[in-house]
Structure 1
Amino acid sequence: MLAGSSEPELNDAEKRTIASMSLSALAPLPPDLTNRFADDPGAAALGATLFFDTGMSRDGNVACGTCHKIDRQFQDDLPRGVGVAETNRRTMPLAGVARDPFLFWDGRRDSLWAQALLPLENPKEQAGTRLAYAHYLKRRFGERYERIFRPLPDLSGLPASAGPFGTPAEQAAWAGMTQAERDGVDLVFADIGKAIAAFERSLVHGQTRFDRFADALAKGGMPAPENDLSDEERQGLKLFIGKARCSTCHIGPRFTDNEFHNTGVPPVADLPEDRGRISVLGEMFADPFNCLGKFRDGGEEACGELRFMQKGSPELVRAYKTPSLRGVGDRPPYMHAGQFATLEQVVNHYATAPRAVEGETELHPLILSDQERAALVAFLKTLSD
């Protein structure tokens, strides 16, 4: 058990590490050079409207906000998200998402605005088509759109619903359109993503008791009593940045390295096979809305992440994104398909390091006592607002 006064228990290296994990150490949000509307207030306001609009779905009952609930860290507390149908993955929280170089648990999209488009056409999420969304936007928000973006294309002679996904009839209708017509619809669809992304850039992490504790240490003082960590929480913090090696991946102010790792998380019975990052690389490069595509604003110099990412390493088999741990104590269940119901189960998994069902797990067994495991969980709960 650590002493009640933590400062003598922390060496200078530990203090520097802790200070680097505070929100105060977070650099300003960089501009999105692929989206010239990213910081446009009008685009953000339209994006917020679209984010919560259930009309942005096939059945009129599902919005982005259906799974990304505003009062639940923009997630839904479910093992797997439920849109038009139940999906195969856990809904990720959205605070700080604008800082992620790749999006989704497997990183299948390389920008926030490209990410926003995928659920709109996913048959288990919002299940619509891009032409149906273009008609809806023109009918409901045409004047706002044109004031922010550009004149809308003439959609009067086009079918009510068509796209490269959807029903066979909708796909056939899309194939029957001219290339110029498809390009016009795709441009509107990309703008929808850019508006939603502009709104999502405003979603940030709130300061926590851990941050106030870390800031006090960084200034050479002691935290106020209401911001101090208990003996157990301090022990968990020392384990987190030391013996337990959690901060190898959960690093920095957002507690993530933004990378993908195989940690031997078991698959969920009865779900389709999910091989993680390795399965989506081809899809990412084929996506017409990726950074190298024609709907990107700015030059290709903004596309370094896509051009230089790992493209086929065995390490990507069953590898999933390192999620931010901010707020983690308030949003069970955990992992990419809600495999673990509690933080205690998560810590036990990382300590025991079971073999992966495919590929090689990056974990190694840790000898942690029950008291040390409880301390880690106690510390993780200090990362909630």
Structure 2
Amino acid sequence: MRRALALLFAVGFSALAAGCGDGFSDAEKAAIASLSLSAQQPLPPDPTNRFADQAAPAAFGATLFFEQRLSRDGSVACSTCHMIDRQFQDDRPFGIAVGETKRRTMPLAGVAYSPWFFWDGRRDSLWAQALVPLEDMNEHAGTRTAYAHLIAREFKDRYERIFGPLPDLADLPASAGPFGTETERAAWAAVPEAKRAGIDTIFANIGKALAAFERTIVHQPTRFDRFADALAAGYEPEGDAVFSDEEVLGLKLFIGKANCSTCHNGPRFTDDFFHNTGVPPAVGKPPDLGRETATAEVLADPFNCLGRFRDGDEAACGELRHMVRDGPELRRAYKTPSLRGAAGRAPYMHAGQIKTLEEVVDHYARAPQPAEGHSEAKQLQLSERERAALVAFLGTLSPGGAD
């Protein structure tokens, strides 16, 4: 009887210690505090987009975000893949719009903090990123002159109140651009350079308005944040902020033995960098080398930080100037995604190659050899209990639970 009571007391004390944080070292507490949304710094300004934090451009950007006429066939908006009720993503392994893309749709909360955009970082600003799907033949599949005509026809007053007078669009082809069909590309090449520059300015401003809206999409506090804040303040968590023993174990593993926080660090649970972790290629898709090919693309982008459509001066272009342009570490390296909300965002990896969080944990424990390049992942000795605990902890990173 006394042994049973002693066991009950020990279990109860263990749970209480886990709940109030007495089971964590000072180093662990500091690591946990660094992951809380409370530790997140205010969103820095984007000096390349002078409209980034203005209300009117953000409101206009919201309109454009849900505007299906910003597509070739009038059926696709940004919100088609970035669904507002699904963390601004679509739960698919590949985005589906006018056609099917070769990668997953990324969620948008907190994306404005990143210095690089897309899974491979092929754009260096949020507004430049917003332009790419508009011309991609598998996404919106539209053209620059078609978008200019749409703005002039449907949004002239709103556009001009924000960005100033539209250029003369007389005699401009209905649909022409540097991408699209052969006829559309030829029509674009025939447009005088000065007129093309005016259309490019409209196009850039569309991206700047969309970015102003997307900067307002932020992460919401979760059970983890309430637990972390209580731990940092030295008081006992209450309500849903109380972690189970399994969740506590998962958190300890996350910041310790499992090495997850090496890449998934900071309040957004990402280092915003690119890593090869041995994720297999997407079946049935063209070869995808990730960051290796993206560096040349971002340098060639006319809308990059060094281009003439940037607001401000070149002092903002340090990331692009000092970017690592080549090297074996870039092959099949992809951006570390945020883990906030990940429990409700299957499938996983850049092309949905892994279906469940349990399989994700198994992948990193096994650390398989990559198809190409060198994987940074190292094999981990994790018991079934430890693997389940990691998955349980990841569930605390969703605002309303895992679903």
Regarding TM over 0.5, the answer is yes
Separation in 2, partners of 1:381, 1:75: 18
Corresponding residue number in structure 2 for 1:140: 154
Corresponding residue number in structure 1 for 2:262: 248
Residues 309-324 of structure 1 correspond to what in structure 2 (within 5 A)? 309-324=323-338
Separation in 2, partners of 1:166, 1:226: 51
Corresponding residue number in structure 1 for 2:92: 78
Corresponding residue number in structure 1 for 2:347: 333
Q: CA deviation at 1:8?
A: 2.4
Corresponding residue number in structure 2 for 1:235: 249
Aligned Cα RMSD in Å? 0.9
Separation in 2, partners of 1:357, 1:103: 24
Identify which of 98, 105, 114 aligns with 2:112: 98
Residues 1-385 of structure 1 correspond to what in structure 2 (within 5 A)? 3-4=14-15, 5-6=17-18, 7-385=21-399
CA deviations on 1:318-349 (whole Å, 9 max, x unpaired) are: 00000000000011000000001100010000
Q: CA deviation at 1:40?
A: 1.2
Residue type at the aligned position of 1:127:
A
| Aligned-partner SS, 2:121 | coil
Query: Normalized against structure 2, the TM-score is what?
Result: 0.95
Separation in 1, partners of 2:279, 2:345: 18
Separation in 2, partners of 1:140, 1:313: 47
Q: CA deviation at 1:204?
A: 0.1
CA deviations on 1:20-63 (whole Å, 9 max, x unpaired) are: 10000000001000000001111011100000000000010000
Separation in 2, partners of 1:47, 1:226: 36
Separation in 2, partners of 1:327, 1:36: 31
CA deviations on 1:77-136 (whole Å, 9 max, x unpaired) are: 111110101110000000001101000000000000000000000000000001110110
Q: CA deviation at 1:313?
A: 1.8
CA deviations on 1:160-205 (whole Å, 9 max, x unpaired) are: 0111001011000010011101000000000000000000000000
CA deviations on 1:302-323 (whole Å, 9 max, x unpaired) are: 0111111111021010000000
Separation in 2, partners of 1:355, 1:228: 39
Q: CA deviation at 1:9?
A: 1.4
Q: CA deviation at 1:292?
A: 0.3
CA deviations on 1:242-296 (whole Å, 9 max, x unpaired) are: 0000000000100000000000000122100001000111111110000000000
CA deviations on 1:358-384 (whole Å, 9 max, x unpaired) are: 000001100000110000000001000
Separation in 2, partners of 1:124, 1:226: 43
What count of residue pairs does the alignment treat as equivalent?
Answer: 385
Separation in 2, partners of 1:118, 1:182: 17
Separation in 2, partners of 1:248, 1:205: 21
Residue type at the aligned position of 1:3:
S
Q: CA deviation at 1:150?
A: 1.1
Separation in 2, partners of 1:225, 1:97: 30
Q: CA deviation at 1:226?
A: 2.5
Separation in 2, partners of 1:374, 1:221: 27
| Aligned-partner SS, 2:22 | helix
| Aligned-partner SS, 2:247 | helix
Query: Normalized against structure 1, the TM-score is what?
Result: 0.99
Separation in 2, partners of 1:70, 1:327: 13
| Aligned-partner SS, 2:243 | coil
| Aligned-partner SS, 1:360 | coil
Residue type at the aligned position of 1:242:
G
Separation in 2, partners of 1:177, 1:12: 65
Residue type at the aligned position of 1:117:
L
Q: Name the larger-Rg structure.
A: 2
Residue type at the aligned position of 2:210:
I
> What 5-or-longer segments of structure 2 have no aligned partner?
1-10
- The runs of at least 4 aligned residues of structure 1 exceeding 4 Å deviation read none
| Aligned-partner SS, 1:143 | helix
Separation in 2, partners of 1:273, 1:370: 34
Separation in 2, partners of 1:206, 1:280: 31
Identity of aligned residues (%): 66
